[in-house]
Amino acid sequence: MKRFFKIAVALAALALFLAGYTAAMARVGSGTAPDMAPKAEQADALRVDKSERRLDLLRNGEAIASYAISLGAAPEGHKGREGDERTPTGDYVIDWRNPNSIAHLSLHISYPNEADRARAAEAGVSPGGDIMIHGLPNGWGWLGAVHLVWDWTNGCIAVTDAQMREIWSLVPDGTPITITE
C-alpha cells in the first residue's frame, strides 16, 4: 500500500509539472510582444552593474526600475573573444529587438564596438556578438527567479520573462547602456 501511495504521489506531481509546462509552452510563441509604454514612461538610459548583478532602467539619471540579473557563465572581466562566456563592459546602445528570440524576447546590445573589434583583431580572435538582454529560454519561463542562482548565459544579461516583457515596453531602440564591472 505504501508503494502504491508513493507512485500515486509521484504521478500527481508529474501531472502538475506537465500541466504547468504545457501552459508555459502555450504562452511561448504567441508572437505578441508587449506594446511600448508611453514615451514619458520610457527609460532614456540603462545601467548594468555586473558585480551587483543588477540592471537599472534610468530616466533623467534616476532609476525607474531595477532587476536582478544573471550574466555570462564567466562574468568577471570584459568580453575578449567569441565563446569566452563573458558579458562585455563599456558603453553600448540597444540597437534592435527580437520578438521571436529563442529566449523570451530580446534586446540586442551593440557589442562589439570599434574598440572591441580592434582588441580582438590585435589578439587574432573573433570578438563575438549577439549579446542581448533577454528572458529565459522558451519553454523554461516557469523557472522564474531560480535562474538567478548561477550565471548561465553565453555573455548575455538574463531576467525573468515577466521582467523582460516590462523591459521590452520601457526600453526603445537607441537607448544607451553602460555595463560596469
The identity of residue 161, as a single letter, is D
What is the number of other CB atoms lying within 10 angstroms of the CB of residue 80? 15
For 6-49, the DSSP string reads HHHHHHHHHHHHHHHHHHHHHHTT---PPPPPPGGGS-SEEEEE
Task: Going residue by residue through the chain, which has 181 residues, state the pLDDT in tens, using 9 for 90 and above.
Answer: 555 545 644 444 444 444 444 444 444 444 478 999 999 999 999 999 999 999 999 999 999 999 999 999 998 899 999 999 999 999 999 999 999 999 999 999 999 999 999 999 999 999 999 999 999 999 999 999 999 999 999 999 999 999 999 999 999 999 999 999 9
Cα separation, 64 vs 57, whole angstroms: 6
Nine-digit cell string for 177: 547602456
Instruction: Name the active-site residue from 104, 108, 134, 147.
Output: 134
134 flagged as catalytic: yes
Strands 157-158 and 176-180: unpaired
Instruction: Name the active-site residue from 104, 108, 147, 156.
Output: 156
Cα separation, 64 vs 136, whole angstroms: 23
This prediction's pTM = 0.82
104 flagged as catalytic: no
Largest Cα span, the chain: 70
Nine-digit cell string for 18: 506537465
Q: How many residues does the chain have?
A: 181
